[in-house]
């Protein structure tokens, strides 16, 4: 059989950061000799070239200002025009997430007879009820995919609950490169902290993600503050975009956290780090990872931290975090928006290094066994074979 030509359609791709884009790049690296990938993506950074090759994969970018409705419409038109010129050069179109781009992509794919694989990535966005509210055309595009890959039981349940066909649905969780994301020994951790200019001996509590209200970075700050005012020397590190480059970011969050740290004279114990494509350096340098989100599907940052052997604390989100963490075994789960419970869990792992290390070891085993990137790649490859059959 000829090598299938697959076009990945995403909202962001390297060097810009999104969970879907990160997964696309990682899977492309695994399947490079079995699938011929290309990428069509929107981009908020106008300094990036419109076309380039990344890791041997052809990438075409369509610039967009996500805060400008006219720019978004123009980007959709340009994306559709690009797809129209190249649609006969691909065998499968693999669309990641649902947005304005899905309608023209589905129309052109239908006209060309090109099968579509749709991956559901994001809770609160890639759900049938949410898409249906955008109108009949949007819902037609959502339901016209030949095969749907869901990253989590949560999104699968929403799909099936809408009465959509189970025969089209496959579970394909996010995967992690467990060589890249691996535990650091004490010497490696110290070296990484020197490179990052972080304290070498104080416990590091890590948050990774956009500064959006759904991610709850402020909830983590308040829980950490309770420990800090009681004498804890733990350092809180936030890695992620704090300015409104993307629509979901609330730049008031970072300012409020900084002001709060100043108010208790602990500003040096709160560190902000810009988004990075070398996130493994930050994760491997940390001691504890916290995911205080109110909305997740299959959080990549949590998987990365688990793969690095960190004790992880996460909001209990049914079908999302609770399928990754067995509370008290390979991490800790706390109720949504429960600041006191998060503070207790954080105090517990910081005061019990041996127990925390044991949880981290089991977290690493969970990812290595169930969420290695090669398993994700095989599921994608099987999806392409199925729609081409």
Lowest mean pLDDT among 70-74, 168-172, 325-329: 70-74
More confident residue, 148 or 84: 148
Domains observed in the chain: 5-175+372-388 (3.40.50.2000), 186-370 (3.40.50.2000)
Q: Name the DSSP class of 10.
A: E
Burial class (CB in 10 A: 0-12, 13-18, 19+), 2: exposed
242 vs 61, 255, 305, CA distance in Å? 23, 9, 21
Distance CA 176, CA 299 (A): 11
Tell me: pLDDT of 1 over 70.
Answer: no
Closest by CA position to 207, among listed 258, 267, 270, 250: 270
pLDDT at 219: 98
How distant is the alpha carbon of residue 167 from its chain centre? Answer: 26
Residues in the chain: 389
Distance CA 97, CA 158 (A): 14
Closest by CA position to 224, among listed 197, 200, 201, 203: 203
pLDDT at 245: 65
Average pLDDT over residues 279-302: 98
Categorize the per-residue pLDDT at 2 as very low, low, confident or very high, splitting at 50, 70 and 90: confident
Q: Look at the alpha carbons of 236, 318, 330, 174 in this order and tell me if their dihedral is positive or negative.
A: negative
For 99-146, write each residue's pLDDT tens digit: 888 999 999 999 999 999 999 999 999 999 999 999 999 999 999 999
H or E element in which residue 120 lies: strand 116-120
pLDDT at 26: 98
pLDDT at 317: 98
Distance CA 137, CA 370 (A): 37
pLDDT at 246: 60
For 188-244, write each residue's pLDDT tens digit: 999 999 999 999 999 999 999 999 999 999 999 999 999 999 999 999 999 998 876
pLDDT at 215: 96
Categorize the per-residue pLDDT at 75 as very low, low, confident or very high, splitting at 50, 70 and 90: confident
Tell me: pLDDT of 318 over 90.
Answer: yes
The per-residue pLDDT of the chain, averaged, comes to 95
pTM of the model: 0.95
Tell me: pLDDT of 174 over 80.
Answer: yes
Tell me: pLDDT of 67 over 80.
Answer: no
Listed in sequence order, the residues at least 6 apart from 198 whose beta carbon sits closer than 8 Å to its beta carbon are: 204, 235, 237, 271, 285
Tell me: pLDDT of 36 over 80.
Answer: yes
Average pLDDT over residues 57-64: 94
- Kindly list the strands in the beta sheet with 147-150, ordered across the sheet, starting from the edge strand earlier in the chain: 51-54, 57-63, 36-43, 5-10, 92-96, 116-120, 147-150, 169-171
């Amino acid at each position: 059989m000829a090598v299938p030509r697959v076009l990945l359609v995403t909202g962001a791709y390297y060097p810009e950061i999104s969970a879907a884009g990160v997964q696309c790049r990682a899977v492309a690296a695994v399947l490079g000799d079995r699938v011929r990938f290309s990428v069509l993506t929107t981009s908020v950074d106008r300094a990036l070239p419109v076309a380039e090759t990344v890791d041997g994969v052809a990438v075409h970018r369509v610039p967009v200002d996500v805060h400008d409705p006219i720019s978004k419409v123009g980007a959709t038109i340009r994306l559709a025009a690009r797809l129209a010129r190249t649609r006969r050069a691909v065998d499968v179109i693999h669309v990641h997430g649902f947005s304005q781009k899905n309608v023209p992509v589905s129309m052109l794919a239908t006209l060309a007879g090109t099968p579509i694989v749709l991956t559901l990535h994001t809770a609160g966005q890639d759900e049938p009820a949410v898409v249906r509210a955008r109108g009949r055309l949007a819902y037609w595009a959502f339901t016209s995919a030949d095969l749907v890959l869901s990253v989590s039981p949560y999104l699968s349940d929403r799909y099936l609950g809408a009465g959509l066909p189970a025969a089209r649905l496959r579970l394909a969780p996010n995967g992690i490169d467990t060589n890249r994301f691996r535990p650091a020994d004490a010497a490696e951790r110290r070296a990484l902290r020197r490179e990052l200019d972080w304290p070498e001996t104080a416990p590091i509590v890590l948050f990774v993600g956009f500064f959006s209200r759904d991610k709850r970075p402020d909830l983590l700050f308040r829980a950490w503050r309770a420990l800090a005012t009681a004498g804890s020397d733990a350092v809180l590190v936030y890695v992620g975009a704090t300015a409104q480059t993307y629509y979901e970011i609330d730049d008031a969050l970072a300012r409020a956290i900084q002001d709060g740290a100043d108010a208790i004279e602990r500003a040096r114990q709160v560190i902000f780090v810009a988004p990075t494509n070398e996130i493994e350096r930050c994760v491997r340098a940390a001691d504890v990872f916290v995911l205080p989100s109110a909305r997740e599907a299959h959080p990549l940052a949590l998987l990365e931290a688990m793969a690095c052997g960190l004790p992880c604390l996460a909001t209990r989100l049914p079908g999302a975090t609770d399928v990754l963490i067995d509370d008290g075994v390979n991490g800790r789960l706390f109720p949504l928006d429960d600041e006191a419970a998060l503070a207790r869990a954080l105090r517990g792992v910081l005061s019990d290094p041996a127990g925390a290390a044991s949880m981290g070891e089991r977290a690493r085993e969970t990812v290595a066994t169930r969420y290695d990137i090669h398993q994700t790649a095989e599921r994608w490859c099987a999806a392409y074979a199925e729609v081409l059959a």
